[in-house]
Amino acid sequence: MFLLFDIGRTKFRLARSPDGESLSEPEIVPTPLTVEEGISLIIKAVRDSDESIRAIVIGASRKVWGGAPMAELLRKELAMPIYSENDAALAALGEAGAGAGRGARIVGYLTVSSGVGGARIVNGEIDLSANGFEPGEQILSVDQQGTAKTLEELISGLALEAMFGKKPFAINDSEHWRSVARWLARGIHNSIIHWSPDVFVLGGSMFKSPGIDLKIVGKELALIPTVLPVRPPLRPALLGETSALHGALAYLRSRN
């Protein structure tokens, strides 16, 4: 039995794989407030299992629990292989192998939910990097006072909640969602220029309704001049909340 975890800033997901190929229906709870609580949840899942756990894969945002080294902490408690990777990178890997990017050589991926993350997948592997990928941290706006705003600060769920004082699904202002789509199109343009993918996949909870309209994003993207002869197509993610768990399974297979 293998345990697969997708730990975001708001949701903590656990799925099981009995054979390294199939995936159980995920269990979803709110992300604990502290790394100690998170580690306890993972250890409990191992010790409560009816079958011996052969390995664990953890996908976690570096913005969860201050980027605590969960794999290192768990190795002090559990005698088994433990792998850790960025949650958005695993989601990208999942969509590239089993979702909207399947069959493409180079896949660019952005997820827009509580935050904004993403990664570049090349030939079915997370691309090499010195420190991982953080496309949500690209600066898109600088005001007259020199204050910079990142893509994440302009369009993420947490950013919109701070702006409006309510959850994004309660925002019904169509003009605001068009503005969000415009900012996202600029971020995608930059990522396409940097990554040069064959296809660009978009996922995350902010594409629900009310939310970001992918068709409007495509129209806004088409208005931005580009030096590239052809823009890659935009595709909606297909795996929903299980993208990173599918990616964790693919990551596990590549190491066994």
pLDDT of 133 > 80? The answer is yes
152 in the same domain as 79 = no
- The 10s digit of each residue's pLDDT in 10-50 is 899 999 999 988 999 999 999 999 999 999 999 999 998 88
**Counted domains in the chain:** 2
73 in the same domain as 159 = no
Q: What is the CATH number of the domain that holds 15?
A: 3.30.420.40
Last residue of a domain, one of 52, 85, 118: 85
Q: Is residue 156 part of a domain?
A: yes
Q: Is residue 253 part of a domain?
A: no
- Answer yes or no: are the C-beta atoms of 85 and 58 closer than 8 Å: yes
- The 10s digit of each residue's pLDDT in 77-91 is 888 899 999 999 999
Question: Encoding tokens for residue 101?
Answer: 């990017």
Q: Is residue 256 part of a domain?
A: no
Q: Is residue 195 part of a domain?
A: yes
Last residue of a domain, one of 50, 85, 120: 85
Dihedral over alpha carbons 83, 84, 88, 93 (to 10 degrees): -20
- The 10s digit of each residue's pLDDT in 243-254 is 999 999 999 988
Q: Is residue 60 part of a domain?
A: yes
Q: Is residue 94 part of a domain?
A: no
- The 10s digit of each residue's pLDDT in 202-224 is 999 999 988 999 999 999 999 99
pLDDT of 143 > 90? The answer is no
162 in the same domain as 119 = yes
pLDDT of 68 > 90? The answer is no
8 in the same domain as 132 = no
pLDDT of 173 > 80? The answer is yes
159 in the same domain as 235 = yes
186 in the same domain as 140 = yes
- pLDDT attached to residue 62: 86
- Answer yes or no: are the C-beta atoms of 234 and 221 closer than 8 Å: yes
Task: Give the predicted TM-score (pTM) of the model.
Answer: 0.92
Residue % of the chain over a pLDDT of 90: 73
Last residue of a domain, one of 85, 118, 143: 85
229 in the same domain as 124 = yes
pLDDT of 161 > 90? The answer is yes
Q: Is residue 167 part of a domain?
A: yes
147-152 average pLDDT score: 93
Q: Is residue 145 part of a domain?
A: yes
137 in the same domain as 189 = yes
Per the structure, the complete domain to which residue 8 belongs is given by 2-85
